[in-house]
Amino acid sequence: MTTAFIALGSNLGDSRALLASALESIKQLDDTRLEKISPTYRSAPVGPGGQPDYLNLVAQLETGLSAGALLAALQQIETDHGRERREHWGARTLDLDILLYGNQQIESAELTVPHPHMAERNFVLYPLTDLAPDLLLPCGTPLGSWREACSDAGLEALGDIIEPGR
């Protein structure tokens, strides 16, 4: 089994219900246990202007799925929740990103792990630190040093407002 951290985000539709339903779907993945869920944050959009604020959180899994199988399963959950691949960095009903997969560094055509933008995204680093404050990244850097270097501008902690459900 491998510990994986997944970033969840939504800024279209009923984001709170979509994220709760996505967590329920993650819980039901083969050979996978949903271990912990971070508090939820409201975050200002990174990317093209004029899109609504996001809700973001991070989930910690134990999984027997390979990274590729986990990615495919998460993409299916996105599709099941109305995700359409449209504008680059545009608004979306549901975004599921693999942040970390054990201690592995992966660079394939489909997947880069650790997630290539996580160091600069407060809506990832803050909830991830809530779950795993003492985490060492695969490169050996403590997560805390990335988070300390990352401003909390545009980020609002909402607490534990989302749990798996339909």
Binding site for ligand ROI (CB under 6 A): 9, 43-47, 54, 56, 89, 95, 123
Q: Which amino acid is at 148?
A: E
142 - beta bridge partners? 136
Closest CB to ligand ROI among residues 43, 93: 43
Closest CB to ligand ROI among residues 9, 114: 9
Q: Please give the DSSP secondary-structure letter assigned to residue 142.
A: B
Query: Of these residues, 53, 95, 134, 166, which one is catalytic?
Result: 95
Contact 66, 75 (CB under 8 A): no
> Residue 151, CB half-sphere, CA atoms under 13 Å: how many?
3
Query: Of these residues, 31, 42, 97, 152, which one is catalytic?
Result: 97
Closest CB to ligand ROI among residues 38, 43: 43
Query: Of these residues, 80, 83, 85, 152, which one is catalytic?
Result: 83
Task: Give φ, ψ of 162 to 5 degrees.
Answer: -125, 130
Contact 89, 46 (CB under 8 A): yes
Q: How far is the CB of 45 from ligand ROI (least distance, A)?
A: 5
**Residue closest to ligand ROI when measured from CB atoms:** 9
Q: How far is the CB of 68 from ligand ROI (least distance, A)?
A: 21
In the residue annotation, 95 being an active-site residue is answered as: yes
In the residue annotation, 121 being an active-site residue is answered as: no
Q: How far is the CB of 71 from ligand ROI (least distance, A)?
A: 15
Closest CB to ligand ROI among residues 14, 62: 14
Cβ-based burial of 48 (10 A; exposed 0-12, middle 13-18, buried ≥19): exposed
Alpha helices by DSSP H, listed for 2-150, are: 15-27, 67-80, 122-131, 143-148
- The catalytic residue positions are 83, 92, 95, 97
